[in-house]
Structure formats: structure tokens, C-alpha cells
Structure 1
Amino acid sequence: MKFINHRIKILALAAFYAGIGLTSAQSANQNKTEATTTQSGKIVPADLNWSERMLLSEMHRFPESWMLDFSKSPKWTYPSAIVLDGAEQLYTKTGKKEYYNYISDFGEKLVTEDGTILTYELEKYNIDLLNSGNVLLYLYEKEKKEKYLKALQTLRLQIDGQPRTKEGSFWHKKIYPYQVWLDGLYMGMPFYAHYTKDFSKGKDAAKAYDDVVFQFDSVQKNLLDKKTGLLYHAWDESRQQAWADKETGLSPNFWGRAMGWYGMAMVDVLDYLPQNHPGRSRLISYIKSFADAIIKVQDKQNGLWYQVLDKAEEKGNYTEASASAMFVYMMIKSVNKGYLPQSYKKYAQKGYNGIIKNLITVDENGVVNLNKCCAVAGLGGKPYRDGSYEYYVNEKIRSNDAKGTGPFILASIEFEK
């Protein structure tokens, strides 16, 4: 009788856990978290590398990957893709299935069986919305699901229709006519190059690669400040915007994260641009010029970078986490790939140490936080963003923004190689 009662209890427990334990990615992640806690006493063990500690912290904060960057409901937006880029590399490195499941869940939730991307509207021609296509390229390579191929083809159609300046640079969005923003190079060009590598052949591929490189050539021509080597946030070909200089069309300031996006765009595009493409050497020369410029504005004491890069001493400016992580990632990856000499590693290391010392905090349960991230910044729109110094330093600051945690994970992976 005891045996029968014991067996009934086991079956009841099994049924109970089957009913509650596997209903969603969120509950699965909670189960993993509980298991980790019981084994080490902490949700995120301190004996892991920083890359895994930050990824596990993000998975704890945002149990489903569409929640990254504080999304309240599944939304096709770009910040998730940066964290998931790190998750892809960590899955390759560790083989930990929970990392793959976290990536896969993004595709499952955001793309329906007929290839429709939730909340995505092609006709808006918003270049930001190409970035998460990188996640689908990865998932299609792994799973070969038809729905991902259809979604990717839709995103590629956006590139064909994206409005351009007279010389051929992509507008940032249809609602921002004739405007080229540094952000857009990261949002669009790694996806464009990666898609070309996976799906295009012959003359089509050659034309696409030339177009990708041209986008960087155009930015160097139109947004570079020759005196400092820094690049302005944006350029208005029409000179119509209130933020645009009437002679040059340039916005008035060097925003840290805008340059961070551009630096990451250059090093990531080179992963897909053919070795024999004549544009490679130009991009590498842009990387060198870019690194030299940001080293000049790196804080000598803490190794970090400021929200407005060239105005460290002005009231209200602060060392900003996302730009600092992006610059560190761009430099250490460039050193690892041979785009920059080894001598540049010390500047990347100083920045990385500065982030850990000044911007990282660890909760009692082991969860890692990245603090002092600018939540968002842009130009134009309603209410109107004028690109002034006061505008940038007064935008909201928050912790654990994916635009900072993602680059921190990527930089950590590069240092751990």
C-alpha cells in the first residue's frame, strides 16, 4: 500500500510539473534560474566570464527575448538583436541550449507561420527595423524554416525601396526625408551584407557589396569633421531641418552612441564583405581614423567616453555606458581581426576596465547591471529634438538598456578570446 501511495504521489507531482513547468519560455527560464540558484546560491554565478554573466542577467530580467529593452509586448525592434548577437556567439562557444532557446524564441514569437513579422510595416521604410533581420538570418541558417525565409525576403525588399539622397545614401526613415544618420549604418549595413553573402550571387552580389561600401564612403564624405576626426550625428541633404547647419547640413554635436553605432557597423560589415573586395581596405582605413579620433576624447582617468564626446568639462555631461561599450567592442574586435595594430588594445582595455569599475554593479543574487545608459536620442520628430548639447545631456538615463548590455557582451566575448 505504501508503494502504491508513493507512486501516486510521484505521478501527481509529475502531472503538476508537466502542467506548469513547460507552458512558456518564461517558465522554462524561471526553472533554469531556480536550478542555478539552488546549486550556487546565486542566480548568476560569479565564476563565469563577464559575457555569460551579463547574458544570464538579461535573461533573468527579460525572461523572453522580445522583452529586451523593456518591451511590454512582442514588437519588432532593433535592441534585442544586439543582445542576441552575443547569445549566438556564446551558444557557439559553450553549447548551452538555454542560449539557443532564447534566440529561437524571438523568431517564434515575432514571425508568424506565413512569414509575417509582427508590428513591422514595410511602407514606413525605417532602416532601424532591418537590424533584427540578423537574428532571422541566424535562425534560418540553423533551422531552415520557410517562415524565416519569407520574412527575410520582405526585409530585403525594404532595401530595394528605401528612399535615398541624390548621391545614393539611404534616408534614415521615410518620415525623415533627405536625412542620413550614423545610427542607420549599423541598423542596415551588416544585415544587407550578411543577406548578400547568404543569398546573392554573381553580378547581384557584386552590386550589393558595392552599395554597402558606398554607404560608408558617403558618410565619410558628408558627416566627418576633418579637424577632430569625429563624425556628426546626422546630415540633412536638403538643409531644411532646424537642427541642420544651413551651409553644411550637419547636426551640431558629436553624440557618443551615434559614433558607437558607426564603429560597430564598420567592424561587423567586414565579417561579410569578401576578402578581395576593393572596399575592404577603405573600410579598414576608416576604422583606423575613427579609433584615433575616439582615443583623443577618451577620459584619461577612467577610460570612458562622454555622452557628448568633445565636451567632457561642460555642465551636465556624463560618462555614458552604451557608447563606451561600443567603442571598446569596435577597438578590441579590430585588434583581434588585424584591422588595428596590437598597440590599440591598451585603449580598449582601459575602456573595458573603466566600464567594470565605474558602470557595473552586481546585486546580492549575482545579477549584473550596466548603469548610466542613455535611454534614447534622436533628431527632429515631436516634440522636436534640436541636437543641441542641452538636448543630449538631458535625455533619460537608465540601467540595463540593451543598447549598452549588448555591446558589453560582445566586447567581453572579444576580450575572452
Structure 2
Amino acid sequence: MGLDKLWQVTGDTKYYNYILNWANEMVRPDGSLVYFSGRSMDDMMAGAVIVWAYRYTGEEKFKKAADFIRKSYDSYPRTSDGIFWHGRGTVGQIWVDGVFMGQMFLTKYGYYIGDSKYCFDEAARQLIGMHQHLMKENSGLLYHGWDEDKDAHWANLSTGMSSEVWSEGLGWYALILVETLEIFPKKHPQYQKIVDITRNLMQGLKDNQDVNSGLWYQIVDKGNRFDNWQETSGSGMFIYSMQRAIELGIIQEKEYANCIKRGYIGLLSKVRINKDDGLIDLCDANNGLGIQKDYDAYVTRPRKRNGQEVISSFLWATTIVENKKDRISYVKPSPCETFVCTDYSQGKVFVFEKGEKVWEHDAPLSNDIWVLDNGNLLFTKGNGVLEVTRNNDTIFQYTSQSHVFACQRLTNGNTFVGECESGRLLEVDSNGKIVKDLSILPLGTTNGKKSFMRNARKLENGHYLVAHYGGKRVVEYDENGNIYWEVPVSGGAHSVIRLPNGNTLVAVTDMDKNPRIVEFNSDKNIVWEFSNKDIEGAPLRFLSGMQYIPGMGIVFTNWTGHVKEKVPYIYWVDWNKNIIETFGPCADIESVSSVFIPLKNEKVYH
């Protein structure tokens, strides 16, 4: 059915021929089926292709085969309230993915062949019944399974419920909801109930989307667990279902468009080009598992590459997203192709477009740079801050007696400046007047010296997040300069970002011979780290500037000013520690100390 979607959007008959050839191999000339046993809902699913074949060819043998599959439902075992068991051997058990397997055929049979009242009444009973049995209260999500007899090894002895919300299984349920609603009679008495279930599920998925990768976790609602991982099959299904729900008018595009975009960029991050054949490999998917006993059993299952589930999921997601009129906005940008950067060693700032230098400006000891909404560049320059146009006109300037390694344009139009030796956190208006002056030097100290602070940021809550390079710590100060939160960072903290999930990302230098990017939670625990242990050849030297890009990962600089080695200057790394792209060495640059990727309509974490 994924290939059918490819055929529909491309018109390439090779996909049509492949599907039809398969159907002909499965159905004999007399309409009998080669492999069908009817032992499980999984058997029923392939019948959707038989309906497809009858729809497009009109051949009677396909109708006979579809009729045979339809009649097998009459004797298929059910729970006491009429929900199909997952398989004839799984006595009393319903699995969330089974409703896709069964209703994918049944709804299409009812719509394209006949017996529509039975088919849609049954589909409504199955979709609603599955939801009633498996729903996780107040979440919109569904557990993996339920056992009416409560004697399965995975079943809760009191409720019969399985323990977890499994990504791929919930993905199948999301798909069948929107696939059913596409052809379901709007006057059917259960139509609105199915719409409501779909809306609640979409909200639950939105609430549980990983803010960093844009994907969904193997256990959907436990993304805060360190051993949980982003799973590709379910993520692709969720992306398709959300976009289809928008097209059907079930959910609002303005509420879900960014969710789909981030999810799709995250999905593309799981694509690898196979060096042997030039085709793509899809990583980090399930192995098509049954219901597991507990959380550990789910997250320790081996991850699979190119399994049938992830291939089909990827086909569904790519065809619906890439076929949108505004699909260009979903194309994965290349952070290491168009960027601005500072060269601390050479005393310059640069603009690179499509990998080529197109602009430069003198900036001694520059260590922080931004592209503003108006297209101007804001950057530090040794003892001050400068804003210039691409025509080199000066728009804003601030000069200091201290070294300045941090600057930031605030939402009110003022500019934040971090003065190093003086230990002052300043806010300066557009005329260069200081409107807020906050000292964070330790009591009795008048000179913090050049190592006192590097990168610093004003946060949305009015606090200030400061990397104390020499002090080997990161501190969050409140609006009055009092310490609100701090964490020690051996090796020298250079840059800091407060992530949307509330965690703090720190770029660490080379003081302890372990340059790295570290993510701390609010309890000061390390929840993610990237270092030379994660990269072949140990090329990391001194990690200085960085930017977090939602759905894509982190872009950071590998400053080589201390060692003068020919290693990459800029790395783009996803949250699974895959190196997606690098930049440098480059003849125009000696070293890169800070980088900024211009992003349209995206909140910047830099």
C-alpha cells in the first residue's frame, strides 16, 4: 500500500505493476488464495491489496478472493464485547496494531466492493472498542494490548492491560483512524466518536513529541527515561496521520504544521546513503515485536535497519509530506553549507553561502555572532559589540574596557552584553546607553580576569545563564545577580544554551583533555553527552560555539587555535550521535570559534 501511494503521487507505472504482479501471485485464476489462512489479523491485512487489484482491474478473480476473506470475519473469534482477538491462538487478547490489520481490508471492501453497512458498522465497533479497552487515561494514547482473561504473561493481573504505550503499534492505530475516516460515511452514528478519538490521539502525540529530534520514542510517553530511544517506524506513521487528519479537516493546520515539519526533518535524520548501492538505509526501527512484559523488554529490543515496517512507514510519510504544495519548506536544510562564523585566530567574521565565502569583516578576538531578523550581523569584537549591514554600514556599537565574548539582541530591541574582566551583565539601548548594569563578580573581587566568563545569555524568565570558563562551572543568575542554579563543568564551560525542555547544553573546552557537548537536567545530572569517544579518530579539540536546531540536532565549532591541526571546524550532530555533516578545513579560515545558522520562522537556540 505504500507503493500504491508512490504510484498515486508519481504516476510511475513500475509501482502499479509491482503491486499487481504480487496480487496475481497471491490469487489463482479461479479466485482462490495461495497463502491465506485467516489465523490472525495480520493475515487479513494483505486483503487490502486484493481489493486494490479488483478496483483497478475489475477482474472477477480478485472479487472472489476478497469475498472469501470477508466471509472469514464471520467466524473469527472475539472478546465478549465483540472485539477481534489479535490471532486465533492469542485467546482473549486484543493488540492495538491488530485493528489496522483487520480494518484496512474491511473498510476498503465495504467502500469498493460491497456489504458496506456490515463493514463500516464493524469498523466503528473495532476502532471504538479498541480505544475503550486500551486508552491511557487523560493522555489520548493507547496501551499495546489487553487480555480479557488476564492470564497472559504481560497482562496486569487486575486490569489485563499491558504495561506500555508502544510506538509502532500506536502508529498502526493512528493510520487506520485517518484511513477509515477518509471513506467513512459522515452520517454514520459513530462518525463523530471516531473523529473525537482521532483528535485526542493527535493531541497526545503532539504532547509527547521529542522537542529535540522531532521524533517519538519507542515508549511514547516516557521520553524522559535515559534508555528510551527515538523510533522510526512509529514516527513515520504519526507524521502521515497528522498530515492526513489536517487534510480531512479533523485537526487544525496552524496547530500541527510545525509538529509535522519537525517530525519529518527528524525522520530524514534517520536516512543513511548506502555506500555500496547508493540507495537509502533506514535506521533505528522496531523488529516487529509482540507485546512485551515490561518497559525494559521494549527498550532493549535490538534496533533494526530496513525492516518492512520502517520501509512502509517511510513511504507513507514521504509521499504525503513531499506531495504538499509547500513541500519545499520541509526539505532538510544543510547547516554546514550556509552560515556565519567568527574566526577568533584571524580576527574576522565571515558569511558563507553554499560553502563559499561571500562576505567578511574585521572583528578582533570575536567569539559570538548572530544574524538578526533584519539581515544585519551582530557580533563581538574584542572590547565591544558591533552591528553592521552586509554593506558594512554600522548600525549599533558598544565599546568596553573589558573583553567582550557574549552579545545578544533582546526582544525589546536592547542588546545584552557580557563584560568579562568587570563581570558585568549589561543591557544597552539602541543609542548605546546602558539601561541595566548587573555585576556578578564574587564579593571583594574587582577584576575577574580574562577567563571569568565566555558565552552568556539572557533567558526568557529574565535570568542570565553564564559560562564561567576559568571557574569551570555554569551559573544561572536571577534578575538581581543572585545564584539561582549552578553546575560544575570540568574542562571549562565555553557556551551555554537553555533547551526548550528546560535542560542546559554546555560546550566544553580542552582544559581536562576531554572536549565535549554535555546536556544537564535541572537536577544537574548528565542526560546526554558527545565527545571523542563517539567519533572515530578523536578529532575534537576545543568546543566553543554551538547552536541547537529543533528536529535536526546540534551544530558546534571545533576551535583549533591551540593546536593548528587540520580537523573539521564545524560539526552537525543529531541526538543519536550521528555526524550528519562537517565543514573545514578551509583556506579562508584559520579557526572557527562561533557559528550561527540563519533559520526562517524558527526560534533560535544559540
2:23 is aligned with 1:112: no
Q: What SS does the corresponding residue of 1:180 show, helix, strand or coil?
A: strand
Contact between 1:243 and 1:252, CA under 8 Å: does it hold in 2? yes
Quick one: distance in 1 between partners of 2:181 and 2:221? 28
The code of the aligned residue for 2:318 comes to S
Give the one of 284, 289, 296 matched to 1:372. Answer: 284
> Per-residue displacement from partner, 1:314-366 (whole Å, max 9, x unpaired)?
34321111011011111111112211101212111111111112x11123554
Quick one: distance in 2 between partners of 1:262 and 1:86? 16
> Per-residue displacement from partner, 1:164-219 (whole Å, max 9, x unpaired)?
1111111111101111110111101121111011232xxx5323312211112112
Q: What SS does the corresponding residue of 1:278 show, helix, strand or coil?
A: coil
Quick one: distance in 2 between partners of 1:402 and 1:346? 28
2:153 is aligned with 1:153: no
2:293 is aligned with 1:387: yes
- Residue 374 of structure 1, CA deviation: 0.7
Give the one of 252, 261, 264 matched to 1:349. Answer: 261
The code of the aligned residue for 1:330 comes to S
Aligned to 2:173: 262
Q: What SS does the corresponding residue of 2:195 show, helix, strand or coil?
A: helix
> Per-residue displacement from partner, 1:67-99 (whole Å, max 9, x unpaired)?
xxxxxxxxxxxxxxxxxx232233233322211
Aligned to 1:284: 195
The code of the aligned residue for 2:303 comes to I
> Per-residue displacement from partner, 1:41-72 (whole Å, max 9, x unpaired)?
xxxxxxxxxxxxxxxxxxxxxxxxxxxxxxxx
Give the one of 329, 340, 359 matched to 2:240. Answer: 329
Q: Between Structure 1 and Structure 2, which shows a larger proportion of helix residues?
A: 1
Distance 1:93 1:230, change over 3 A: closer
Quick one: distance in 1 between partners of 2:110 and 2:293? 34
Q: What SS does the corresponding residue of 1:270 show, helix, strand or coil?
A: helix
Give the one of 172, 175, 191 matched to 2:86. Answer: 172
Q: Which runs of 5+ in 1 are unaligned?
A: 1-84, 380-385
The code of the aligned residue for 2:86 comes to H
The code of the aligned residue for 2:110 comes to T
- Residue 156 of structure 1, CA deviation: 0.6
- Residue 150 of structure 1, CA deviation: 2.0
2:137 is aligned with 1:226: yes
Contact between 1:333 and 1:411, CA under 8 Å: does it hold in 2? no
Write the mapping of 1:2-401 to structure 2, written as runs, cut at 5 A.
Answer: 85-122=1-38, 124=39, 126-200=40-114, 204-342=115-253, 343-357=255-269, 359-364=270-275, 365-379=277-291, 386-401=292-307
Q: What SS does the corresponding residue of 2:87 show, helix, strand or coil?
A: coil
Quick one: distance in 1 between partners of 2:108 and 2:183? 6
Contact between 1:336 and 1:414, CA under 8 Å: does it hold in 2? no
> Bigger CA drift: 405-414 or 86-95?
86-95
2:296 is aligned with 1:410: no
- Residue 269 of structure 1, CA deviation: 1.0
Quick one: distance in 1 between partners of 2:289 and 2:10? 35
Aligned to 1:26: none
Q: What SS does the corresponding residue of 1:271 show, helix, strand or coil?
A: helix
Contact between 1:376 and 1:396, CA under 8 Å: does it hold in 2? no
Aligned to 2:367: none
- Residue 231 of structure 1, CA deviation: 0.8
Contact between 1:378 and 1:387, CA under 8 Å: does it hold in 2? no
Q: What SS does the corresponding residue of 2:146 show, helix, strand or coil?
A: strand
Aligned to 2:594: none
Aligned to 2:563: none
TM-score of the two chains, using structure 1 as the length reference: 0.74
The code of the aligned residue for 2:19 comes to I
Q: Which runs of 5+ in 2 are unaligned?
A: 325-606
Q: What SS does the corresponding residue of 1:244 show, helix, strand or coil?
A: coil
Quick one: distance in 1 between partners of 2:290 and 2:172? 13
TM-score of the two chains, using structure 2 as the length reference: 0.51
- Residue 221 of structure 1, CA deviation: 1.4
Quick one: distance in 1 between partners of 2:249 and 2:156? 37
The code of the aligned residue for 1:237 comes to E
Quick one: distance in 2 between partners of 1:352 and 1:396? 23
Aligned to 1:18: none
Quick one: distance in 2 between partners of 1:225 and 1:95? 41
Contact between 2:222 and 2:228, CA under 8 Å: does it hold in 1? yes
Q: What SS does the corresponding residue of 1:369 show, helix, strand or coil?
A: strand
Q: What SS does the corresponding residue of 2:183 show, helix, strand or coil?
A: coil
Q: What SS does the corresponding residue of 2:216 show, helix, strand or coil?
A: coil
Q: Between Structure 1 and Structure 2, which shows a larger proportion of strand residues?
A: 2
Q: What SS does the corresponding residue of 2:91 show, helix, strand or coil?
A: coil
The code of the aligned residue for 1:92 comes to Q
Cα RMSD between the aligned structures?
1.6
The code of the aligned residue for 1:277 comes to H
Quick one: distance in 1 between partners of 2:75 and 2:183? 22
The code of the aligned residue for 1:353 comes to I
Quick one: percent identity of the two aligned structures? Answer: 30
Q: Which has the higher contact order (CA 8 A, sep 6+)?
A: 1
> Bigger CA drift: 310-319 or 182-191?
310-319
Quick one: distance in 1 between partners of 2:116 and 2:14? 35
Q: What SS does the corresponding residue of 2:6 show, helix, strand or coil?
A: helix
- Residue 147 of structure 1, CA deviation: 2.4
The code of the aligned residue for 1:402 comes to Q
